[in-house]
Structure 1
Amino acid sequence: MLQYLKRVIVMLAIERKNEILAILQKEQRVLVSELSKRYDVTDETIRRDLEKLESEGYVKKTYGGAVLNKNTKVDMPLRIREKTNRSEKQIIARLVSDLIEEGDRIMMDASSTSLMIAKELKSKSKLTVITNSVEVLIELAGHEGIQVISTGGNLNETSLSLVGNAAQKVLNGYHVDKAVFSCKGIDIHNGLTDSNELDSDIKNVMYSCADTAVLAVDSSKFDKVSFVKTMQMKRGDILVTDRNLAEEWKAFLAERGVRLVVPEE
């Protein structure tokens, strides 16, 4: 009984930390006093949670609370990213699904946006999907008419992605109609950027293996620059986002020959 109670306490602590991270993703800062009331625990318990999150690189403690660590090398766990900007990603997922034709062969990365897109793709009756995402594999597994191919490779536990030379080798063995992926930041001068080299390398390989790149990027990523430069957009690429863009961005994309897809007003 004692061991069971200990496991329950540990699980509750993990869930609480994940929820705190999700709040930080949305609001950028938290207060110890507010969190202790929210979860009905002591201030000291919350401080320990924040100390743990700080040691993992996700937050920076401040007087009375903490702020989100903007260090572009730190990648939030997929479980947290799934909860962030969900409505925006759902809009993007529907738009991307409309771009995917029956019979298409596509590659998909391990972003939380791709997972949303995979849910929409289950309405298709004939597709081939090659992915390095554990979650996308599970989402599409057993769906009649959709052939799913895993890259294999080394598991990145934070992003639940399969990465490394083995994954890249599998991708390089295929040619597909479309590659669908996201990024951590998109900037006019720096192009697409990501938080680590391994995931960035996978996206570059997917990009080179596809006739058309579909870049699915929610509006919070624009004018942000992360740690690793991934690629510059080129003519024929399709950029899908959840809202209309500023005139500067529209002019830039038009000059580059990149098609912009946004929701109808």
Structure 2
Amino acid sequence: MLAIERKNEILATLQKEQRVLVTELSQRYNVTEETIRRDLEKLEKEGFVKKTYGGAVLNSNTNLDLPLRIREKNNQEEKEKIASKVADMIEEGDSLMLDASSTSLMIAKKLKKLKKLTVITNAVEVLIELSGQEGIKVISTGGVLRDASLSLVGKSAERTLENYNADIAIISCKGLDLKRGVTESNEEEAEIKRAMRRCATQTFLAMDSSKFNRASFVRTTDLKAGDTLVTDRLDEEWRRILTDKGIRLVTCGEE
């Protein structure tokens, strides 16, 4: 295994479990503990982790922006169910705006079953996933490439979005908090999501349940009456609060 692959796997484990131990990683990857310590030192310099005695913990900064390749590995089963549910709600001929997130990429894969669709996106991975798909028209926002998220951002991307009126904007988030609303780790990503929301008749927020009661760096928007939230599960308190706001709730496994 290449060092970069090992680092990415360690970071994925940290994202899931919040902490790792040097001894356990050494045994898992069949390398010396010193090699693991060097991996953790590099991750610490990159701002992703904080070293502790005998291991490391995930950096809890609200503006931490993990690479898309890492986020794709987290909560895959839940995101898969959410993606299937969202795709089932899309009708032939719809026009969509799809943001750059690991959940949106899974949704794009499910959308390929449709025979007529228009997708406007700032996600490089979504552009690639849907390229050459007969019946699906794909429009790129253009813009400045963000390496971490493989997304296109900036004023030119926002201006492109503003040229269109879509049926549905499908966005994800880094956190949903009662006081702070829908939040994102990066301001440019948040601006794109806001623009998508403004330019669509409906907004779907697709997020796995790990995002509840979390607040990231930038406030993106608030959920409002008429919005649709698609998630894998929902506790009774959140269900009551969101229902009172007039938000349509769709939970995987429910009709």
Shorter-chain TM-score: what band? Answer: over 0.9
Deviation at 1:256, TM superposition (A): 1.3
Pairing of 1:1-265 with structure 2 (within 5 A):
12-243=2-233, 245-264=234-253
Deviation at 1:247, TM superposition (A): 2.0
SS of 1:61 mapped into structure 2: strand
- Encode CA deviations 1:142-183: one digit per residue, 9 max, x unaligned: 000000000000000000000000100000100000000100
Equivalents in 1 of 2:170, 2:143: separation in Å? 19
Q: Partner amino acid for 2:110?
A: E
Q: Partner amino acid for 1:229?
A: R
Q: Partner amino acid for 2:200?
A: A
Deviation at 1:26, TM superposition (A): 1.2
Deviation at 1:39, TM superposition (A): 1.1
SS of 1:72 mapped into structure 2: coil
Deviation at 1:76, TM superposition (A): 0.5
SS of 1:179 mapped into structure 2: strand
Q: Partner amino acid for 1:258?
A: I
Q: Partner amino acid for 2:208?
A: D
Deviation at 1:264, TM superposition (A): 2.6
Q: Partner amino acid for 2:71?
A: R
SS of 2:242 mapped into structure 1: helix
Equivalents in 2 of 1:67, 1:246: separation in Å? 28
Equivalents in 1 of 2:120, 2:58: separation in Å? 34
Equivalents in 2 of 1:201, 1:162: separation in Å? 11
Deviation at 1:208, TM superposition (A): 0.3
Deviation at 1:40, TM superposition (A): 1.3
SS of 1:251 mapped into structure 2: helix
- Encode CA deviations 1:23-52: one digit per residue, 9 max, x unaligned: 111111111111111111111111110000
Structure 1 residue runs without a partner (length 5+): 1-10
- Encode CA deviations 1:204-249: one digit per residue, 9 max, x unaligned: 0000000000000100000100010000011110000011x22221
TM value normalised by structure 1: 0.94
TM value normalised by structure 2: 0.98
SS of 2:173 mapped into structure 1: coil
Deviation at 1:68, TM superposition (A): 0.8
Equivalents in 1 of 2:70, 2:53: separation in Å? 25
- Encode CA deviations 1:53-75: one digit per residue, 9 max, x unaligned: 00111100000000111111111
- Encode CA deviations 1:76-135: one digit per residue, 9 max, x unaligned: 100000000000000000110011110000000001000000000000000000000000
